[in-house]
């Protein structure tokens, strides 16, 4: 129970007063939307939910959405400032108000976001859980296989559906509770679906796939998903000073959470973790940080069971499409549109040459080639010789600083951290059972054009256990530094200090780097402590423990 003062009560809206009742298996989304709207229009600062499940069926549609696949939202907050959406907690202080996005269990169906917030300032979320019903993944134990089939006994309470797809499937050592080996299927699925068969406890599925059968072993656990679409269960877009406290995502379609073009986030006790006998939380990233700015401060985050990455932070490079004159350029960025900002810094890269400039003015100039064009007026003349790989990074798409402490990344069919920003501090973080490197530092140019170029990264007192057994972007092991598709010393001023590496093929894998200090790190059962490419790296200092 909340102890509310009389002043608190004046600023609170109780969701129950609008008909939102937990643990009733009918739609509660409309009542929750009414409560949020009332709070916003009557200057109330808190919307309070009770303990229990809120089933969400209905949704609203943004007719102006960039993609109609992403236009439906169970809860849609836009242009609301200073609001706190708050749930209850259980006896241990864990979130006990569960928002459940209900769906029909169809393969590859785009689902409404559970919560979509945009252009909100000082928004706070507290004590909330998020899930899908049915859960978006299932899991079981492999009880039989042949050359071209396998049979799974589905764990109790997990989805058991004839015709369910097999996207982003992964193997598990059930005794150790550990992810094993490379993913069995990826975003293209298995090409065939599961079929219900008789036998066992009456929860058996058969998959007729030689490709999958050859990758698995009887007795292993197997997890899989309905789909792997690019969509977002929680989306925060163009929000400033966002606070996330005591949140737990149990099961998600697509990306569990994305902050896009946001300015400043504080997060504490944000958890992505399956419950019951589920083995996976999401078929895509847990939390993607995309084209954001300001300071991001994260503590006590826990990520388990996602494909691809735990925390993926990046922007998109601006490629030079046309030089109009010395001050005016037409630039292009792949994927989605994001606004620029007059007065932002603009850093140009051309091989090892780098030039600082600024945006005097800008305007969008349409779309094409899978991205968006921008007309830019620079503050200073652009005298840098330009080639096909010339590109720019705007400061309004880059974090000012990122800090994470006391967190865990476990059983991830990808990397724990993808670091493409500068001024990053990672302290006292554990990485365990990760298919790719625990931390991957560096841009990804080929096909994706994801940046920027990290400068000033500190990794201190972190542990890496059973990571990087599958190479990615040319690196493997605990920590990998490499700019995929670019040649040059792009990753600068990196400190890796007092970290522990166990059961990894390589401790630290270094390419395309300048100014890396490796200080007092420990290695146990490691194939190779360091791999440093002398042709693409310089000023690498190794300081051993005395």
Read out DSSP for 117-174?
A: EES-BS-EEEEEEEEEES-SEEEEEEEEE-SS-EEEEEPTTS---TT---EEEEEEET
At which residue do the structure tokens 């998959």 appear?
A: 207
Q: At the topology level of CATH, where does 319-397 sit?
A: Immunoglobulin-like (2.60.40)
Residue pair 184/215 in contact (Cβ under 8 Å)? The answer is yes
Bridge-partner residues for 68, per DSSP?
Answer: none
Cβ–Cβ under 8 Å, residues 396 and 375? no
Domain residue extents for the chain: 1-60, 137-225, 319-397, 399-543
What stretch of H or E contains 272?
Answer: strand 263-272
Unique residue bearing structure tokens 């896009």: 260
289 and 296 Cβ atoms separated by less than 8 Å: yes
Peptide bond into 134 cis (omega under 30): yes
* Surface-to-core class of residue 130, CB atoms within 10 Å of its CB (0-12 exposed, 13-18 middle, 19+ buried): buried
- Give the containing element (helix H, strand E) for 374: strand 371-378
Q: Which residues contact 357 (CB under 8 A, 6 or more apart)?
A: 345, 346, 347, 348, 378, 379, 380, 382
Per-residue pLDDT of the chain (546 residues; tens, 9 = 90+): 566 777 778 899 999 999 999 999 999 999 999 999 999 999 999 999 999 999 999 999 999 998 999 999 999 999 999 999 999 999 999 999 999 999 999 999 999 999 999 999 999 999 999 999 999 999 999 999 999 999 999 999 999 999 999 999 999 999 999 999 999 999 999 999 999 999 988 999 999 999 999 999 999 999 999 999 999 999 999 999 999 999 999 999 999 999 999 999 999 999 999 999 999 999 999 999 999 999 999 999 999 999 999 999 999 999 999 999 999 999 999 999 999 999 999 999 988 789 999 999 999 999 999 999 999 999 999 987 767 788 999 999 999 999 999 999 999 999 999 999 999 999 999 999 999 999 999 999 999 999 999 999 999 999 999 999 999 999 999 999 999 999 999 999 999 999 999 999 999 999 999 999 999 999 999 999 999 999 999 999 999 876
User: DSSP label at 306?
Assistant: B
Contact 508, 518 (CB under 8 A): yes
């Amino acid at each position: 129970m909340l102890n509310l003062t009389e002043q608190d009560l004046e600023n609170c809206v109780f969701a129950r007063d609008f008909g939102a009742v937990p643990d009733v298996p009918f739609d509660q989304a409309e009542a929750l939307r009414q409560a949020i709207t009332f709070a916003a229009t009557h200057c109330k600062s808190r919307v309070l939910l009770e303990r229990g499940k809120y089933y969400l069926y209905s949704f609203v549609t943004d007719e102006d959405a960039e993609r109609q696949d992403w236009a439906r939202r169970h809860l849609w907050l836009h242009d609301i400032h200073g609001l706190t959406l708050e749930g209850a907690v259980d006896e241990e202080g864990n979130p006990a108000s569960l928002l459940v996005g209900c769906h029909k269990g169809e393969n590859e169906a785009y689902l409404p976001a559970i919560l979509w917030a945009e252009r909100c300032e000082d928004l706070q979320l507290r004590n909330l859980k998020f899930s899908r019903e049915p859960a978006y993944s299932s899991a079981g134990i492999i009880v039989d296989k042949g050359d071209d089939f396998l049979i799974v006994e589905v764990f109790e309470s997990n989805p058991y559906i004839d015709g369910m797809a097999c996207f982003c499937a992964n193997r598990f050592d059930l005794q150790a509770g550990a992810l094993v080996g490379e993913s069995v299927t990826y975003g293209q699925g298995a090409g065939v679906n599961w079929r219900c068969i008789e036998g066992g406890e009456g929860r058996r599925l058969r998959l007729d796939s030689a490709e999958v059968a050859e990758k698995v072993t009887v007795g292993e656990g197997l997890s899989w998903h309905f789909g792997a679409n690019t969509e977002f269960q929680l989306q925060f877009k163009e929000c400033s000073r966002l606070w996330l406290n005591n949140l737990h995502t149990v099961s998600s379609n697509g990306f569990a959470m994305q902050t896009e073009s946001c300015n400043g986030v504080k997060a504490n006790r944000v958890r992505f973790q399956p419950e019951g006998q589920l083995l996976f939380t999401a078929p895509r990233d847990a939390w993607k940080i995309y084209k954001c700015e300001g300071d991001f401060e994260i503590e006590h985050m826990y990520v388990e069971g996602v494909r691809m990455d735990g925390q993926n932070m990046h922007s998109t490079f601006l490629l030079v499409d046309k030089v109009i004159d010395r001050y005016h350029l037409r630039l292009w960025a792949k994927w989605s549109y994001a606004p620029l900002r007059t007065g932002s810094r603009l850093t140009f890269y051309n091989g090892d040459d780098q030039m600082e400039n600024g945006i005097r003015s800008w305007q969008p100039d349409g779309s094409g080639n899978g991205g968006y064009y921008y007309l830019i007026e620079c503050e200073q003349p652009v005298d840098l010789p330009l080639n096909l790989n010339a590109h720019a990074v705007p400061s309004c798409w880059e974090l000012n600083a990122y800090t994470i402490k006391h967190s865990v990344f476990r059983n991830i069919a990808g990397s724990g951290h993808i670091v493409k920003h500068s001024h990053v501090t990672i302290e006292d973080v554990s990485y365990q059972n990760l298919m790719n490197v625990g931390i991957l530092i560096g841009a990804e140019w080929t096909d994706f054009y994801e940046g920027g170029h990290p400068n000033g990264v500190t990794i201190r007192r972190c542990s890496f256990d059973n990571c990087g057994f599958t190479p990615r972007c040319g690196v493997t092991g605990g920590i990998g530094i490499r700019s995929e598709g670019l040649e040059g010393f792009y990753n600068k001023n990196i400190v890796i200090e007092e970290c522990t590496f166990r059961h990894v093929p390589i401790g630290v894998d270094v390419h395309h780097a300048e100014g890396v200090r490796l200080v007092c790190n420990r290695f146990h059962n490691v194939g190779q402590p360091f791999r440093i490419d002398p042709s693409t790296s310089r000023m690498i200092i190794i300081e051993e423990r005395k």
